[in-house]
Structures are given as structure tokens and as C-alpha cells.
Amino acid sequence: MANRPYQPKDRFFKQAKASGLRARSAFKIDEIAKRFRIFERGQVVLDMGAAPGGFLQILLDEVGPKGKVVGVDLVPIRPLNRPNVKTAVADVLAPEFDALLLSLHDGIFDVVVSDLAPKTTGIKDTDEARSIALAGKALEVSILRGRTGGHFVAKLFMGRDFESFRNEIRKSYRDVKVVRPEATRGASMEIYLVGLDRKPLTP
């Protein structure tokens, strides 16, 4: 089946604009939320790679006013004017990231979501390796700061290390789903892995 051509102003773009969403990508996390019911009212959720804020808008609606969402990205995120969201400019691979994240929220996260993506070079192996490194950092955070029974969502570029990374998630989560949301661009190599029901940490 041929890839769908890139359409910069496709129906998802138009729907996002009509709905007041900051990015068409918001429909990706919305689809995942509906399919797997991983978000609940009152949860604390981390969104890594959160700019411009489309995911945050969906997540805030999912967790409700008693929940909390933390968003980090390399670029500033325009304020959402909601009292239960915190955002910060951060490089997730920097040595100081863990301390910064602790300052934003010092408890556990019910769900860790990663929409992190590398700045692409056009070199397939390089881009895939950088994508895996970012998703790997998100997985590390979900294991160290995530709740037992919680969930994990990560975007990555499909490549030769895909299976080994999925197996890494399986070590910590009871089930792993592979998702290519409908709103994904036609020629994009990105997919999402959804880790369900995190296992208890073993000594």
C-alpha cells in the first residue's frame, strides 16, 4: 500500500484549529487515550517533548482539575493558563535533568508520555539511534519515577533496534502495544509503544 502524501493542512490540521488545539499531534495521544484508557481523573502525568502543548491540552482534560501534568521540552511552551500544569525548558539527556524533574514534581507519575523526537539528519541509522536514546531516557524515568501498575507511552522511529527496545519495555510492563495513530503523517516512520501495567520493581 502506498504511503499517503504529505498534506500540511489535512483534516487533522483543520480539526485541531477548529478545536483550539495547538497541534494536530494532539489527536495521536487522544486516540491512544481512548483505545487503552490509560488516563484517569486525578492522575499525575509527565509529558516529555511537550511543545507546543497539544498533548498537554488532551492530558489536562483527561486528568481533570484534581490531576496534575508536567511538561518538558527543549523549547519554551506557551502558558496554558491552567493551575494544574507545570512546564519547563529542559534537555532530557542533560546530566541535570533528573534534578530538574524532581523540582517540578517530587512524587511518582501515574503515566509517563514521551513524544520526544531528535532533530533529523536524513541519515536513517543516525536518526533511529537518536530516537531510541530519547525513548530510552523516557523509559528510565518511567521505571524510576513511575507508579507500579502505571503506564508508559513513547514515540520512536521504526528501525532495526525496535524489537530490542520493545523487549526492554516488556521487562518492566506486563503488556506492550504497538500503535500507529491515524493522525500520523503518511510517510512518517514514527510509531508509539504503549507499556501497560508496570510491574513492581525488583531488588
Catalytic residue among 28, 68, 137, 155: 155
Q: Is residue 6 situated within a structural domain?
A: no
Q: Is residue 193 situated within a structural domain?
A: yes
Instruction: Give the predicted TM-score (pTM) of the model.
Output: 0.90
Structural domain containing residue 123: 11-198
Query: Cell 489527536 identifies what position?
Result: 27
Structural domains in the chain (count): 1
Q: Identify whether the C-beta of residue 191 lies closer than 8 Å to the C-beta of residue 179.
A: yes
Q: Is residue 2 situated within a structural domain?
A: no
- Please give the mean pLDDT across all residues of the chain: 90
CATH code of 177's domain: 3.40.50.150
Mean pLDDT in residue range 57-71:
97
User: How far does Cα 122 stand from its chain's mean position?
Assistant: 23
pLDDT for the residue 15: 67
Q: Is residue 108 situated within a structural domain?
A: yes
Nearest one of 146, 137, 129 to 168, comparing CA atoms: 137
Q: Is residue 4 situated within a structural domain?
A: no
Strands (E), the chain: 44-48, 68-73, 85-89, 109-114, 146-157, 173-179, 190-198
Q: Is 155 a catalytic residue?
A: yes
Task: Tell me the per-residue pLDDT of 10-57, one tens digit each, with 9 for 90 and over.
Answer: 675 666 565 666 777 888 999 999 999 999 999 999 999 999 999 999
